[in-house]
Structure 1
């Protein structure tokens, strides 16, 4: 890569044009243009969700208000997924240090912002420290489906519930020093406010277990299979060509307490809310994970958590 950069000094026109094209392609202005073309980027503006959705001390949760803030969320995702974890960036992602895909242009991006963060020279410089990508069904019509459909066959689920409004949750990450209960609560206050506003009936999305060897994840995968698989109208199966069996251990061999300790905090949080999971897992070699599908009808959320999210709203109000 370094050699190619210096070669560019001897071929300035070609390299310069290529570099300019890449910069233009991934600039905030191009991101906005792509969103408009796809019918996305309905930035809140005068919408009821345009303001603060929650605040705790210096931390605020709200939706991104433009392409530059989405850029910041993508930079955070790159830092967590590629620099801290084991995801493998392509050339463009490595060059721009951003985790970005075609779905970003039609999504809302939930942000946690630390307004007390310090910049390089010691001054106050608000920083995006957490994010969630929120994709509504109407927003992805022109893309031909949800991101999740590359791993799980969710078409039958959507067909069985034509009257329901679905929301895909994805690309969630929090900067390491901020992985606390307070930050997670703020994110969920934001998600819940979003669900209430858009009258969402059900949420779904991929959740990841670190590692690409299912046998090394036999205990948590088997626990999910035996105790938390969605049934009936909510059943979803991994895509046939990517399906990895989750029933790797018999039910009688599973130590539930140990299995719960092995589950990532995000998956345990979904379980507490009342979520169920798809049948079969999917190995994502690019991100170095084994993915399971979370399915969470709003009607299934434990009443205690709904009361907490509703009743505690005042504490998180701006």
Structure 2
């Protein structure tokens, strides 16, 4: 989850579609579910409404008065991002009302012209990007799925869409914030400590939370952590990133607006486990051609 960065100028929130990418068709399909990018303002607005239902109604995010009045989670990044959408094609309603899940995607070349990445408010992402000037970064965020669609099938479909997207745009590194519920890191001591001891990005990929917001993740000694319990306590999104080979930044950040504790995902494409490359690779080649 994310929050607004005032340094990026608003461009008519939700009034225009995201950047044109050349990926106008279906990026993946499983049964009645399909994934593709938003094509117009009505679909972006509908995605914002889905985000509101999850982040505000379900998880208790605060936000601004205008967001509550419109019942849409929106910020200035929406106008410069691509919006990956999952549709339930069996729902008997207009297409933009069939959206059941969404991801927000911000490519480095777009971020460079729009004021930067979202996550730089919480993590020293600019330092990491500068260290890898020959790499193309993609920031993922605002991931959410409606409760009745939170299944392995929907997660697989989102990854089909992401694979097609990164293949088409030749992305080298994925990054972005992922969240634990609540603003007390100690409530997730076991899981956060497991990430700190076993899943930290190291060497040239190490990246820290910004100093003024840094919260220690190493809350328990490694020998005191039951790994099975720690993994069971991980939020599904974080567990999904771990499965494909992601590592995490040093330190977490409390986001009071969204009532979350955030960690930074670091995932160079070459780290992704081979079985996932094989599983999604065929579809990404086919849909992104």
Q: Distance in 1 between matches of 2:193 and 2:37?
A: 36
Structure-1 separation of matches of 2:12 and 2:136: 31
In the alignment, is the contact (CA less than 8 A) between 2:191 and 2:231 conserved in 1?
yes
Identify the residue that residue 73 of structure 1 maps to in structure 2: 47
Q: How does 1:1-318 map to 2 (within 5 A)?
A: 28=14, 31-32=15-16, 41-44=18-21, 47=22, 49-119=23-93, 127-311=98-282
TM-score (norm 2): 0.91
| 3-state SS, counterpart of residue 212 of structure 2 | coil
Greater Rg over alpha carbons, structure: 1
Compute the displacement of 1:142 (Å). Answer: 3.0
C-alpha distance after superposition, 1:237-271 (max 9, x if no partner): 00111000000101111110000000011111101
Could you tell me the TM-score, scaled by structure 1's length?
0.83
Summarize deviations over 1:53-77 as a string: whole Å, max 9, x none: 0112221100000111111110100
CA offsets 1:64-104 (integer angstroms, 9 cap, x no match): 00111111110100010000112113101001011011111
CA shift in 2, pair 1:124/1:221, >3 Å:
closer
How far apart are residue 215 of structure 1 and its match? Answer: 1.2
Instruction: Give the Cα–Cα distance (whole angstroms) in 1 for the partners of residues 108 and 201 of structure 2.
Output: 21
Change (3 A) 1:136 1:216: same
1:314 positional shift: 9.4
Structure 1 residue runs of 5 or longer lacking an equivalent are 1-24, 36-40
SS of equivalent to 1:220: helix
The structural deviation recorded for 1:206 is 0.3
Query: Would you say the 8 A contact 1:55–1:61 is kept in 2?
Result: yes
Structure 2 gaps, min length 5: 1-10
- Measured on the aligned residues, the alpha-carbon RMSD in Å equals 2.0
